[in-house]
Structure 1
């Protein structure tokens, strides 16, 4: 848990500060505050700062304020605070507000009547307090994930004091940025390192915001090159993680992001086991590269065997030979037969349940099943064909880019 722009605006004593733009990025973590004394800020910030612009020592016209917004977005600052009043910057130009909104830079207006010494003291004190709480919470979760803790009773006492909800079923989600070489290949090492750290921080902030929108959230934990989340056990991976992955993938380019998900555990003493499962699932995801970006440990039985095949072309050939005849590119829905076969196998061969799953009439299903047997030259009563089709469909589902477009 970090101190965010939104939380700073809610601090007692800072009610006079008003958000003017960039509300969608108010979940950004604030690393520290910085008062801009130069025309630009690019050479003076490292990312994560809440930058204050007073206009006292340097005139700030509209062009300069626009420049600060652009540089702030490039440098990944947490937000930009502009002091307004009669003496220096009378108001924030509409063009500056519009640019900040377009770039997603939180833009805050602070009246000169609110003294900077009060503002910086409140923010600094809150940052220190939040950092201490954050370290303690991460320490608890880190011990549970590593299995290195003095005893569950002590851990539970600390967790209760720090309001860390450990009770209830959980699933561990791990994610890792792959292809970091793409960043270092196109930028000098200092710039590449800055981009990498900014990307990791942006991902962590987005994950914190997403996680906090769900019941009983726990802090995001960083372990080496992994980001670890402990999710509620009733989470639906397909409907909830796929949209999250799409959002995070857009933030991580040119790198690639993959995720692994554990089974459900019911006790914090099992977090270490769940982390191991999630890491195994992550390795399979990085090997097979599913379109939705994650692999569930519950599906690893066959996938772990497929992962051991060094040449991916062998897997692709198997899928093409098994399912290729069922794809009909000339039709409006070219993959209808694949979805039909998938539904039938998912329902263990129960045609009535398969028709209900697909939302079609039983006669329509029977027509499709006849066509599947005709095109594949296989019998759906053949257990070997059903097994091969189940494995091929599992790989196909992972590689299917439009998971939601099933008829």
Structure 2
């Protein structure tokens, strides 16, 4: 289970950061926070990162920032957080807001005096926690479905793996056949399905 841009508003250190554009892209999943210190990012990132732009060491002109956002969108990043203040980026240019909205690319504004280390650390810890929880869920399901040892009840197994017990349970199977055009986008489909069910 990963964290999406929509989940950021629930983090303590993200409270002073506001969404300024790209609301339709809040479903995007975040693989990791990345602090940008170069004018180009393609060679450094895999996709899915939440990029932080402080302006330090960068050309903060409108065209340069637009170019960086276009590259971020084409690389499949989760979103962008721009630190604004008097020193580097006084305000987010309207052209970036327009591009973010048109691309469904979340664009956040972060006051310069908010500690960047606190924000990125909280996001990283949340990602790692969710990954660990997802592993527990996967091990629980594997044990439940494939273990030859049937001496443990469902309740005992769920307690062992820290899976919350509910009064009701659902099982669903989603199958995509090889050769189906959707198979190429399988990871995105899994991510979107998981987020929708959540």
Coarse TM-score class (shorter-chain normalised):
0.7 to 0.9
Q: What does residue 205 of structure 1 align with?
A: 191
Q: What does residue 122 of structure 2 align with?
A: 122
Shift of 1:41: 1.4
Q: Describe the superposition over 1:81-125 as per-residue Cα deviations: whole angstroms up to 9, x where unpaired.
A: 111110001111111111111111111111111011111221122
Q: Distance in 2 between matches of 1:105 and 1:164?
A: 36
Q: Is the 8 A contact 1:28 1:202 kept in 2?
A: no
Q: Distance in 1 between matches of 2:126 and 2:5?
A: 12
Give the helix-richer structure, 1 or 2. 1
Change (3 A) 1:115 1:4: same
5+ long unaligned stretches in structure 1? 183-195, 213-407
Q: What TM-score results when the alignment is normalised by the length of structure 2?
A: 0.86
Q: Distance in 1 between matches of 2:149 and 2:80?
A: 41
Which has more radius of gyration?
A: 1
Q: What does residue 18 of structure 1 align with?
A: 18
Answering whether residue 95 of structure 2 is matched by residue 95 of structure 1, we say yes
- After superposition, the CA RMSD in angstroms is 2.3
5+ long unaligned stretches in structure 2? none
After the TM superposition, which segments of 4 or more aligned residues of structure 1 sit over 6 Å from their partners? none
Q: What does residue 58 of structure 1 align with?
A: 58
Q: Is the 8 A contact 2:20 2:109 kept in 1?
A: yes
Q: Distance in 1 between matches of 2:109 and 2:177?
A: 36
Change (3 A) 1:95 1:141: same
Q: Distance in 1 between matches of 2:96 and 2:44?
A: 21
Q: What does residue 156 of structure 1 align with?
A: 158
Q: Distance in 2 between matches of 1:164 and 1:179?
A: 38
Where do residues 142-221 of structure 1 align in structure 2 (5 Å cutoff)?
142-146=142-146, 151-152=152-153, 153-158=155-160, 161-163=162-164, 165=166, 167-168=167-168, 170-176=170-176, 178-179=178-179, 199-212=185-198
Shift of 1:164: 5.7
Q: Distance in 1 between matches of 2:61 and 2:149?
A: 56
Shift of 1:156: 2.9
Q: Is the 8 A contact 2:100 2:107 kept in 1?
A: yes
Shift of 1:173: 2.1
Change (3 A) 1:75 1:142: farther
Q: Describe the superposition over 1:167-224 as per-residue Cα deviations: whole angstroms up to 9, x where unpaired.
A: 53534222326338x8xxxxxxxxxxxxx5xx33322221123212xxxxxxxxxxxx
Q: Distance in 1 between matches of 2:178 and 2:103?
A: 26
Where do residues 9-88 of structure 1 align in structure 2 (5 Å cutoff)?
9-88=9-88
Q: Describe the superposition over 1:44-74 as per-residue Cα deviations: whole angstroms up to 9, x where unpaired.
A: 1101111111111112221122222222222
Q: Distance in 2 between matches of 1:110 and 1:78?
A: 16
Q: Is the 8 A contact 1:149 1:155 kept in 2?
A: no
Q: What does residue 350 of structure 1 align with?
A: none
Q: Distance in 1 between matches of 2:149 and 2:44?
A: 41
Where do residues 300-379 of structure 1 align in structure 2 (5 Å cutoff)?
none
Q: Distance in 1 between matches of 2:179 and 2:128?
A: 35
Q: What TM-score results when the alignment is normalised by the length of structure 1?
A: 0.44
